[in-house]
Structure 1
Amino acid sequence: MAIRSLRIHPHDNVEVALTDLSVGEWIGTGSTRITLMDDVPAKHKYAIQDFEVGTDIIMYGVLVGMAVVPIRKGELISTSNIRHASGEYRVSQRKTDWTRPDVSKWKDRTFLGYHRADGSVGTKNYWLVIPLVFCENKNVSIIHETLVKELGYQHEVSPYSGLVRALKRQHRSGEPGDVVSSSVDPSAPTGLPDKLFEHVDGIKLLTHTLGCGGTKDDAKTLCGLLAGYVTHPNVAGATVLSLGCQNAQIPLLEAEIACRDAKFTKPLYLLEQQRVGNEADLLHEAITKTFDGLVMANQCKRQPAPIDQLCLGLECGGSDGFSGISANPALGYASDILVTLGASVVLSEFPELCGVEQELSDRCVDEETAERFVNLMKTYQHRAEAVGSGFDSNPSAGNIRDGLITDAIKSAGAAKKGGTSPVADVLDYPEKVAKPGLTLLCTPGSDIESTTAEVGSGATVVVFTTGLGTPTGNPITPVVKVSTNTLLYEKMEDIIDLDAGTIIRGEESIEEAGERILEYVIRVASGEVIAKAEAGGHDDFIPWKRGISL
């Protein structure tokens, strides 16, 4: 008989419903058998003991909430009877012993990547067009649109053109009714021209709303992020447009590039509109130089590289009550394999590490690294509280609806993406990953801000787990989506790459699913498979302006 509920950790005093459970039903695992006092929807939790007001709610073996009213054994755990709570944390003793996975089947594996002069290896070969300030967004968009169309990177006709034509005919004829869905055919031939540069994966732009009007620190942080993209292994070169009078000046960008790559040799074209003068002259020069750069970029071809050259970003969004028991721990196992092999993995979203700070601090390789993590977490939390919005405000309406009713519940499951390896390094935004192993990167929990930051720090592939579905992608790094449940995978197959709902159904172990994720990552890294976010054109880029974003 299929398992209907799960106690995640032996110390937990709540269990998770793996399917919809009904009031009056006898349920439980192991020696615990109780009568449900409420209907419990799948992904939600129920009490396996009686709680008095103030009793700790324990899940994943950590404090995740506190009872605000008496709760009977068998009652549904909800926002009406518990509130967020998390444990205190401090720098303590190191606990870096861990069980390494067997990696014998992976030790000789390679992927086909783009080898860069600094020794890094990219999974893509893109050219970037970047504004240093929002005033140049129009100009970089003109450059981008012109080049991608004329060089064979853009369909000349949208797959939705048929729908628009049908709507026009209907409007002119005055006939009522719905236009048939067959008017939309994303797979239909759309007149894609021949691609001139076969080894250049595309031309991407990074428009944003920053560069001026903020503080000098805002400008430095933006330049640091942009420098992370310019020096990124997935980037062959870049064209950068500056207006000239903004805070984010060209020398500041150059300094940030030098911090990340002291021997930077990629083609980089820096143009300032106020020096050039005429806008047409600026665009002419930018397009001409970019074309020259593309000629050079096309000389780089995919070559074999060991998989320890991968830098894997670990992300989640639209999480649900299954995230922490299916997709996230499976991704964590894949992370542990990569760490054992000497690769880098990046875990971010600091508001979604609330409640597991002590464990992560203890896993840091030394006290200095642990101190930095603790200080960054406490500073972030204090800043959030100062504007009346602590980490407890993090769960979204969708999270709560699908079982993540406190930030600590959400965080304890989200942290599973980082596996069990020691924490090799802790970075503040937008610093660059510099060590193999697990790195913690300070970012918001906001999906796109966090993904943008992970890529800016060096992630060459991102795996993004989701329980509710999100189309988030990135301009230069493939973002692989993994569903926590099969219903989502079947419903949103156009944006989800892999299904980890097999774990919930008992068809696959966490380890088996983790190995399947890693195999897919290697295929994506080699260009054998195009991640669905990339295929769908989801080029999301949102810099974090270091305010309070949860």
Structure 2
Amino acid sequence: MSDDTGFLLLHPSDNIVVARRHLKQGASWSGNSVTVEARERVDLGHKMAISPIAQGEAIRKFGQPIGFATQPIDPGENVHTHNVGLGHLGHSYEYCTSLVTLPPPKEERTFQGIRRPDGRAATRNYVGIISTVNCSATSARYIADAFDEQLLEQYPNVDGVVALSHKGGCAFEYGGSDHRLLARTLAGFAEHPNIGAYLIVGLGCETAQASFLTDEHNLVELNLPGNDSRKPLVMNIQDQGGVAKTVERGIAMLKELLPEVNRVERVPIPVSELILATECGGSDGNSGVTANPAVGIASDLLVAAGGTSILAEVPEIYGGEHLLTRRAATREIADKLLERIQWWEDYAKKFGAQIDNNPSVGNKKGGLTTIFEKSLGAIAKGGSSPLRAVYEYAERVREKGFVIMDTPGYDPPSVTGMVAGGANLVVFTTGRGSCFGCKPVPTIKVATNSLMYHRMVDDMDLNAGRILDGEATVEQVGEELFEMLIAVASGEQTKSEQQGIGDEEFCPWTPGPVF
């Protein structure tokens, strides 16, 4: 990465540079024995051509093609959606050719976590109210709302009561793929180590029956001491006699549970038991330059310490998957990733859509032009570690190291899937300023630029924009983030937790039709 006062050249083979702040017409970049002046204003994160680009020629960023010129582009011109199209990359895939062995840390690191009776490590201690269907969402919310701060003051070791409600649970095939996917997601939260105890609330006549959920996944209250029957607590509104009676009984049941849930203490646990979910949302043209590479450094440090880091959002891997097949530990792992890429191509075609519709309005305003560009930046969150596994949505993550989970590119269902898979920490990068939390797991938000960080300082935990400002390196910010992961896992609250954010972001993915 090289730069002058205002632009960054990210790779010697690139034919564009990236603005590291808002730049006026006439701002210049010098390199490769030439000086190029901007012909118009270039906004933060946007791109300027530094050499003539013929129509049909590849636009290169990070040393990789991110699209193709739809018209001739002269040096100094802005390079964006008005003169760039998607085209066809025509990747030739390599397999298992870029396996990097990371040196182990000099000493074993620990965090102050909660050790559950089943042996798993928790970073928080919540009570969950799990709705089987949207029809029971209001009842779950009323039960949770009864446990305000004043009531929970009596239980200082309980982080809160969260209603895990959603918009689905009916109008799909009983026992079909969508039903099983929802059940897997709900079971992942019920069995999550950060859930000290849970109550399942259904309506009674829905497709997503509570009995199917508990039987299919052999749910037991493993995390709760004192529950000799080990049976999960289940209520159906129709059986209880309506909403008011369901809420009254649910509150009473949880009041009995809280003293038991409160009987925990934090103890030293190896960092190797952390499972990190990595996510980017509200991305901009500098996401792949600052925050995401810094997350990649933290991810590698965690993997080197024996932990697990999850890269998700397969539609935002699209176009950069060839870089990951090279890092796959086996050909079978690479083939599974490519099979998921093909699934998304077919899925989009069924609805007459294109995956390149993924970059949002905000992404494009922030300088991202195509899905290929967005994907190359998103992949940076995965660092350089070997790829050890590819998981289906909400599948339990059992492999140590760097792994991928197949989730959509929309933040709430993506993080929901990773948490259901066992992630006990979330790191979320943003350039435009996403406000995100995800109870029962803490979310660390990393800003890609200082302008947004200072504007939204109450929501951002770490400023990776210091890399653009020349105040820190990617490595330094990544190491700082790694230390923050340990502190947050040990109980330090994130900005989203301080504001109570995370009740509404539970969002199970339903890819199939609703009848």
> Which TM-score band applies after superposition, normalised by the shorter structure?
over 0.9
Q: Give the corresponding residue for 2:217.
A: 257
- Amino acid across the alignment from 1:467: G
Any conservation in 1 of the 2:4–2:30 contact (CA below 8 Å)? Answer: no
- Correspondence 1:122 to 2:82: no
TM-score (norm 1): 0.87
Other structure's SS at 2:439 match? coil
Q: Give the corresponding residue for 1:344.
A: 308
- Amino acid across the alignment from 1:542: C
- Correspondence 1:289 to 2:253: yes
Q: Alpha-carbon deviations, 1:277-326, whole Å to 9, x = none?
A: 45554334322322222222111211111111111110111111111111
Residues of 1 paired with 2:372 and 2:302: CA distance?
Answer: 27
Q: Give the corresponding residue for 1:169.
A: none
Query: How does 1:306-325 map onto structure 2 within 5 Å?
Result: 306-325=270-289
Residues of 1 paired with 2:146 and 2:167: CA distance?
Answer: 22
Query: How does 1:58-457 map onto structure 2 within 5 Å?
Result: 58-85=60-87, 87-89=89-91, 92-98=94-100, 100=102, 103-104=105-106, 107-148=107-148, 151-152=151-152, 195-215=153-173, 216-258=176-218, 264=222, 266=224, 268-277=232-241, 279-457=243-421
- Amino acid across the alignment from 2:506: F
Q: Structure 1's 132 and 262: CA in aligned 2 closer, same or farther, altered over 3 A?
A: closer
Any conservation in 1 of the 2:274–2:425 contact (CA below 8 Å)? Answer: yes
Any conservation in 2 of the 1:89–1:357 contact (CA below 8 Å)? Answer: no
Residues of 2 paired with 1:397 and 1:272: CA distance?
Answer: 42
Q: Structure 1's 262 and 273: CA in aligned 2 closer, same or farther, altered over 3 A?
A: closer
| 2:429 alignment partner, one of 460, 465, 478 | 465
Q: Structure 1's 270 and 8: CA in aligned 2 closer, same or farther, altered over 3 A?
A: same
Q: Give the corresponding residue for 1:15.
A: 17
Residues of 2 paired with 1:278 and 1:450: CA distance?
Answer: 33
- Correspondence 1:535 to 2:495: no
Q: Give the corresponding residue for 2:479.
A: 515
Other structure's SS at 1:363 match? coil
Q: Alpha-carbon deviations, 1:223-260, whole Å to 9, x = none?
A: 111111111111111000122221111232124533xx
Q: Alpha-carbon deviations, 1:50-84, whole Å to 9, x = none?
A: 12211111111222100110111222102111112
- Amino acid across the alignment from 2:331: E
- Correspondence 1:544 to 2:504: no
Residues of 2 paired with 1:526 and 1:436: CA distance?
Answer: 21
Q: Alpha-carbon deviations, 1:334-364, whole Å to 9, x = none?
A: 0000011110111111111121111112211
Q: Structure 1's 277 and 39: CA in aligned 2 closer, same or farther, altered over 3 A?
A: closer
- Amino acid across the alignment from 2:510: K
Q: Structure 1's 359 and 23: CA in aligned 2 closer, same or farther, altered over 3 A?
A: same
Q: Give the corresponding residue for 1:162.
A: none
Any conservation in 2 of the 1:128–1:203 contact (CA below 8 Å)? Answer: yes
- Amino acid across the alignment from 2:167: T
Q: Structure 1's 51 and 537: CA in aligned 2 closer, same or farther, altered over 3 A?
A: same
Residues of 2 paired with 1:432 and 1:91: CA distance?
Answer: 28
Q: Alpha-carbon deviations, 1:489-541, whole Å to 9, x = none?
A: 111111111101111111111111001111111111111x2111111121121
Residues of 1 paired with 2:216 and 2:294: CA distance?
Answer: 36
Any conservation in 2 of the 1:40–1:46 contact (CA below 8 Å)? Answer: yes
Other structure's SS at 1:130 match? strand
Query: How does 1:493-504 map onto structure 2 within 5 Å?
Result: 493-504=457-468
Structure 2 stretches of 5 or more lacking a match? none
Instruction: Give the root-mean-square deviation of aligned CA atoms.
Output: 2.1
- Amino acid across the alignment from 1:289: M
Q: Structure 1's 279 and 510: CA in aligned 2 closer, same or farther, altered over 3 A?
A: closer
Any conservation in 1 of the 2:4–2:29 contact (CA below 8 Å)? Answer: no
Residues of 2 paired with 1:526 and 1:7: CA distance?
Answer: 39
Q: Structure 1's 48 and 538: CA in aligned 2 closer, same or farther, altered over 3 A?
A: same
Q: Structure 1's 232 and 29: CA in aligned 2 closer, same or farther, altered over 3 A?
A: farther
Residues of 2 paired with 1:22 and 1:143: CA distance?
Answer: 55
Residues of 2 paired with 1:256 and 1:29: CA distance?
Answer: 62
Residues of 1 paired with 2:101 and 2:466: CA distance?
Answer: 24
Q: Structure 1's 89 and 228: CA in aligned 2 closer, same or farther, altered over 3 A?
A: farther
TM-score (norm 2): 0.92
Task: Kindly tell me the number of residue pairs found equivalent between the two proteins.
Answer: 501
Residues of 1 paired with 2:133 and 2:58: CA distance?
Answer: 49
Alpha-carbon offset, residue 135 of structure 1: 1.2
Structure 1 stretches of 5 or more lacking a match? 153-194
Other structure's SS at 1:521 match? helix
Any conservation in 2 of the 1:449–1:543 contact (CA below 8 Å)? Answer: yes
Q: Give the corresponding residue for 1:44.
A: 46
Q: Structure 1's 240 and 81: CA in aligned 2 closer, same or farther, altered over 3 A?
A: same
Q: Give the corresponding residue for 1:177.
A: none
- Amino acid across the alignment from 1:537: G
Any conservation in 2 of the 1:90–1:374 contact (CA below 8 Å)? Answer: no
Q: Structure 1's 119 and 28: CA in aligned 2 closer, same or farther, altered over 3 A?
A: farther
Alpha-carbon offset, residue 484 of structure 1: 0.6
Alpha-carbon offset, residue 415 of structure 1: 0.9
Identity of aligned residues (%): 36
Residues of 2 paired with 1:486 and 1:322: CA distance?
Answer: 11
Residues of 1 paired with 2:122 and 2:198: CA distance?
Answer: 15
